[in-house]
Structure 1
Amino acid sequence: MKYILGVDGGGTKTEAIAYDLKGNIISKGVSKFGNLLVNNEKALENIREAIDNCTKELNIKECIHIYLGIAGVSAGDNKQKVMKYIIESFHCETTVVNDAELALSALLKGKDGFLTISGTGSICIGKYNNEKVRVGGWGHILGDEGSGYYIALEALKKIIFEKDMGYTKSNFTKMILDNLEVSDEFDIINFVYNSDKGKISAIVPVIVELSKNNDSTAIDILKQSGRELGIMTARAINRMKINETVNIGISGSILTNINLVKESFVNVLHKEVKDFRIYDECASPTIGAYYEVIKYINS
């Protein structure tokens, strides 16, 4: 059976899904992070592991194309590294794009529009009349505003500020320190500098729970996250100078699952964009590989 292999590699996990030529899923495989900016060598191993897990019951010679959307490939020669590694490992026609491009193809099913992703990291990309635009996606040190990592760091900074000001330890601080299984604010230093992005972002559910209990600090952080994502998206759209309804896809657990973030995001768009339509269908980014390869085959 001929098939197309889509691979989505992010900051916490890598997913590989094989699709037949009608778009039906025939096999899946997962592994840990695929973002080369986290750890170059380990990310490549994780990408291969996801593909191996997906194809262990399939014949790799029947794969007509491996189409990968990998976080971090826009930096340096990372795209070439992934391409070389995959071709040498599987001897198959291969395309490597940023993970956001793959997700855009998946959510909008090949139509023109924009996609804002907020998971462990964040980015907005768009394509319109054969032109492409990208805003954000600068990584956790230079950017990733509005992401899970951003939310977690903002929360930890609030705790540090509280300590520096000599304030009584708030419930916000107590809840997060309990989650980290530490008792002292200075333990945050060790946690941050000895944890990867995924582990740091894992405190976001605590912040969401605090917001549901009307904790003002948690609410402010989540709302600011949404505003940052809205500003990022508006910048991308306005650079294209579009005068018609704009298709905007949203993806990633932060933007699609946290209502405060999404509401704040949409509020910014209402102020900055003339007319838009939100797409938030739940679909694996890997289906974008199917749409792109089939479009190429039929062109």
Structure 2
Amino acid sequence: MTLKYQIGVDAGGTHTTAIAYDLDGQELGRAEAGPGQVNTDYDNAIVNISQAINQLINQIDGDCQRVLCGMAGLSVIGNAPQVAATISAKINNLPTRAVTDSLLALYNGLEGADGGLVIAGTGSVFNGLQNGHIITTGGYGATLGDEGSGYAITLAAIKSALLSWDKREENDLIQMFNHLLGVTNIVDGTAKFYQMTNPEIAAMAVSVAKLADEGEPNATAVIKEQAELLARDIIIGMDRYDNPKPMKVALTGSVLANNSMLRGFLEDKVHTKYPQAEFSISNGENARGVVFDRSNDYRHFTN
């Protein structure tokens, strides 16, 4: 009997992971490729996503039933059906659905249950699921949103450093950025900063978090501010639930998985409005969301 399987794709700002699962949810194989964030480099993202899917198709002897692609930046560019059609044309016209990476993570983090999922990595967004209805707050990209993300943390930190420099105040963030940017004067580093990609900027948030863990007050203030801005987005989303409101909130993404200080500030802020909110870390592979997706919106695209 021919093996039937499905593929979930988690296409983010730094890399793409495609994983094949049988119809019982058991992993059959995986493939990696480069960035899949469609709002920063659309053509390259499509190439990377298609490459990872085709690698899986070639290595698995079976019949792929559907492909679910969760892509960073999809909410920014919109037109998900056309994006799905473009990918489908490059993977033997398989039934394909395109969703935001945050929605893919929600399917995985909640395993089909109602509740919310917060993703904070390079960018950030809150998605809630209640009775099949999706509620989204944030997710507007680095320029208009992404509160609590690695990018937003770094941006807030360098603004803090530059303000302190102008005021000739002490701020350990100044020395941190001088080191990271390879300059002796932070003002000289601004030109380098503008040339960096979003993932490169987001990666520097790790250094901000380390300073905060060491008790540096300016870094701590940045982490607290960004945590509370992200908590605000969660509260807005939970406000939009119908009663009785689901209280489960799953957290995922590199910032939330690795920054316990930010998680603490975030949870404290949400609990001021919703003291019964239950937080958990989603450590599973977000590509696994394809196993829990109940949508019928998988289209058979043809050339």
TM-score (norm 2): 0.91
* 1:42 and 2:77 are equivalent in the alignment: no
SS in 1 for 2:8: strand
| Residues 143 and 201 (structure 1), Cα distance of their counterparts in 2 relative to 1, 3 Å cut | same
Q: Distance in 1 between matches of 2:32 and 2:190?
A: 31
**Aligned with 2:85: secondary structure?**
helix
Write the deviation string for residues 116-167 of structure 1: whole angstroms up to 9, x where unpaired: 1111101001111232211000000111011100001011111211222133
Q: Quick one: which amino acid aligns to residue 19 of structure 2?
A: I
Q: Report if aligned partners of 2:223, 2:262 keep a CA contact under 8 Å in 1.
A: yes
Given the superposition, is the C-alpha separation of residues 126 and 154 from structure 1 closer, same or farther in structure 2, using an over 3 Å criterion?
Answer: same
1:203-246 residue CA offsets vs partner (Å, 9 max, x unmatched): 11111211122111111111112111111101000111433551
Distance 1:294 1:239 in 2: 22
Residue of structure 2 in register with 1:196 after alignment: 197
Moved over 6 A (4+): 294-297
Aligned equivalents of 1:213, 1:75: Cα separation in 2: 36
Partner of 2:167: 165
- Alignment partner, residue 54 of structure 1: 56
Mean Cα deviation higher: 75-84 or 137-146: 75-84
2:165 and 2:174 in contact (8 A); partners too: no
Deviation at 1:175, TM superposition (A): 2.1
Letter in 1 for 2:262: V
Cα deviation for residue 177 of structure 1 reads: 1.6
Q: Please show how residues 192-231 of structure 1 align to structure 2 within 5 Å.
A: 192-231=193-232
Q: CA deviation at 1:190?
A: 1.9
The residue that corresponds to 2:141 in the other structure is 139
CA contact (8 A) 1:27 1:55 kept: no
Shift of 1:257: 1.5
1:100 CA displacement: 0.9
2:137 and 2:218 map into 1 onto residues whose CA distance is 28
TM superposition score normalised by structure 1: 0.92
Question: How far did 1:58 drift?
Answer: 2.0
Structure 2: state its 5+ residue gaps.
299-303
Cα distance per residue 1:246-270 (max 9 Å; x no partner)? 1111111111210110001110111
Query: How many equivalent residue pairs?
Result: 295
Cα RMSD for the two superposed structures = 2.0
- The superposition leaves residues 169-199 of structure 1 with CA deviations (integer Å, 9 ceiling, x where unpaired) of x432112221222222123322232111100
Mean Cα deviation higher: 48-57 or 111-120:
48-57
Aligned partner of 2:188 in structure 1 is 187
Q: Residue in 2 aligned with 1:243?
A: 244
